Chain A
Amino acid sequence: MINFVLLISRQGKVRLTKWYSPYTQKERTKRLGTKEGEKDIYRMARIRERKTRDINPNQMYQGWGRPTPDAFVRRIQETEIEEALKRMKSGKAMGPDGIPIEVIRELSGLILTRGPKLCNFVEWRGYKVVYRRYASLYFCMCVDADDNELEILEIIHHFVEILDRYFGSVCELDLIFNFHKAYYILDEILIAGELQESSKKNVARLIAAQDSLVEAAKEEASSISNIIAQATK
């Protein structure tokens, strides 16, 4: 599953972010730095640990690593708890959706410094970030450690091709001033962090339909205001 999508420029400016799993929960951020906050973290860790154990034992069959629940649900590690605690203590501001801006900063530091001939995958906090550079823009998708990396790499390209078709040879400037369009388009490609449509034609058609609905509403509104203006003359 894709946990989040991130578009950053070479200068580290964010051009789009979309999160499919809340990075941290708001309730916890409210209790920043308190004793209870620490307890919460450990409680969460325990629940998570238990989850990895309690899944139907019938399916604990022997086989290759991936499908066993243990491999499937990532175990929380001590270092992660430490890290989380560190983050909490510093009391850093988190966005309203509970995403520390630090995540973005950390990732851009990791990705933007990579040379051109390296692989497109970066391992990060137990996840993998698949990224691809197009001119001055980096498209990044953070996925679970056992996801198929190349598949994600091509989802990125699929997204870029659709943007390209929509804007007619897309450039960074298009995405800056039309960032909302980029969000509309992304929503037609991904839902819940999964690919929903692999046909470029279908996506293009749906976006065009949306655009014409908005246009139609605009015309209607202006004709109504004309009528009102005429009536009140």
Chain B
Amino acid sequence: MALSGMRGLSVFISDIRNCHNKEQERLRVDKELGNIRTRFKNEKGLSPYEKKKYVWKMLYIHMLGYDVDFGHMETVSLISAPKYPEKQVGYIVTSCLLNENNDFLRMVINTVRNDIIGRNETFQCLALTMVGNIGGKEFSESLAPDVQKLLISSSCRPVVRKKAALCLLRLYRKNPDVVNIDGWADRMAQLLDERDLGVLTSVMSLFVSLVSNNAEAYWNCLPKCVRILERLARNQDIPQEYTYYGIPSPWLQVKTMRALQYFPTIEDPNARRALFEVLQRILMGTDVVKNVNKNNASHAVLFEALALVMHLDAEKEMMSQCVALLGKFIAVREPNIRYLGLENMARMLLVTDVQDIIKRHQAQIITSLKDPDISIRRRALDLLYGMCDVTNAKEIVEELLQVYKSSDSAAVEKRFSCGSPIVC
């Protein structure tokens, strides 16, 4: 299927595909770059169609790994085009070809701003997407207030608002001062009441970032997060399109639990009870099923729930459930679950009073040390390093020595050199 809609582009891509070796490919690319360069020089004669075609070719060449050090100006200038097709190409290629430090971006800040505050919804979306993907400090300073306005506006459609939320997240990461904490705690609480789950997903990402820097300021949002989680876990009026293999938006569930992990504790007894009910349900009710995607999604939620339980250091009853679950996970065949089991068990070592239970799994962990998968071996090694103390040092070191003899892994060596002083 060669329907790129641009013949010249398709032909060029076929040409590249027909090259037998790297040298031929380079020659073809150089020829094309030369061609584009001369065409850009006599810019007057270029139709919008041609401009788009050349800019796409540049992106393709860039993707192949070649240096494309000209034509940035032409790419960026497409953003200022009045018509949607050119503007769209301009925005997308710019956000792939340039990074936030490129000087040409400065030239379009005004155009971008006009698109953001303008009435044309599709232009707003394009502009927000680009700023969200490559906006730097300067964009942050000049655009943040406008983006905020879009996010909280009641007249904007969800499609614009969800993009505005993530765009603001980017700008906030570049410059935390753009979000004034005093006013935002209340606004954030309002935003978390959002009914549209697309917008809510984006808003939750923004919230995770805000709360990670200053949990104190957002206490008022905590009950809302719990409510969202309850609603999702009970599958209460979640539109069909937002369930993924039967699971109500696993991503939103994960993000919400992530946000909750930034609050030191949960004092409100009602919220606490509700939250633990949900967590209990997740811990107990996640079964292994045949469908891989369903399994992954439900376990993504489960592992996040585990993390949240560990963080809240709940009633010890739940903690022992967690350890039991992890013990089960590190013994399964499925490599992803085993990897995550080992990883989370190492995190669990930080929680008091569970070390002894973890030690019971030592033999199982040592088996993973000999796994063919380097990722799993590393996790096993890290975990053994963490759980090593006077009682089991001899055994662990012996095992490590054996592994060390039979492997060329630099990681073992590194762990060895840092481990030995503690062990001895």
A residues engaging B (CB < 8 A)? 14-20, 22, 25-27, 55-56, 58-59, 61, 63-67, 72, 93, 95-99, 101, 104, 114-115, 117-123, 148-151, 153-155, 157-158, 167, 173-174, 176-180, 183-184, 187, 191-192, 194-202, 206, 209-210, 213-214, 217-218
Which residues of B lie under 8 Å from residue A200 when comparing CB positions? 241
A97 to B134, CA, bound (A): 10
- Which residues of B from 348 to 376 have beta carbons under 8 Å from A? 350-351, 372-373, 375-376
Is there contact, CB below 8 Å, between A14 and B64? yes
B236 touches A (CB below 8 Å): no
Which residues of B lie under 8 Å from residue A18 when comparing CB positions? 96, 133
Is there contact, CB below 8 Å, between B197 and A199? yes
Could you show 9 A-B contacts with beta carbons less than 8 Å apart? A118-B335, A119-B335, A119-B338, A151-B304, A154-B297, A177-B3, A184-B88, A214-B88, A217-B84
Give chain B nearest CB distance to A181 CB in angstroms: 8
Is there contact, CB below 8 Å, between A198 and B197? yes
Is there contact, CB below 8 Å, between A158 and B244? yes
Which residue of B is nearest A157, CB measured?
Answer: B293
A81 to B39, CA, bound (A): 43
Which residues of A lie under 8 Å from residue B80 when comparing CB positions? none
Is there contact, CB below 8 Å, between A198 and B339? no
Is there contact, CB below 8 Å, between A180 and B92? yes
Which residues of B lie under 8 Å from residue A149 when comparing CB positions? 300, 336, 339-340
B422 touches A (CB below 8 Å): no
Is there contact, CB below 8 Å, between B378 and A155? no
A201 to B303, CA, bound (A): 28
| Top-4 shortest CB links A-B | A150-B300, A119-B335, A97-B99, A191-B166
A157 to B63, CA, bound (A): 22
Is there contact, CB below 8 Å, between B216 and A22? no
Give chain B nearest CB distance to A206 CB in angstroms: 7
A119 to B299, CA, bound (A): 14
Give chain A nearest CB distance to B392 CB in angstroms: 22
Is there contact, CB below 8 Å, between B92 and A196? no
Is there contact, CB below 8 Å, between A191 and B133? yes
- Which residues of B from 48 to 71 have beta carbons under 8 Å from A? 56, 59-60, 62-65, 67-69
B421 touches A (CB below 8 Å): no
Contact partner, A192, options B133, B311, B336, B340, Cβ 8 Å: B133
Is there contact, CB below 8 Å, between A64 and B251? no
Is there contact, CB below 8 Å, between B65 and A192? no
Contact partner, B299, options A150, A167, A184, Cβ 8 Å: A150
Given known contacts A65-B350, A121-B375, A194-B169, A199 and B242 CB-to-CB distance under 8 angstroms: yes
Which residues of A lie under 8 Å from residue B215 when comparing CB positions? 59
Is there contact, CB below 8 Å, between A192 and B167? yes
B97 touches A (CB below 8 Å): yes
Is there contact, CB below 8 Å, between A198 and B297? no
Is there contact, CB below 8 Å, between A192 and B3? no
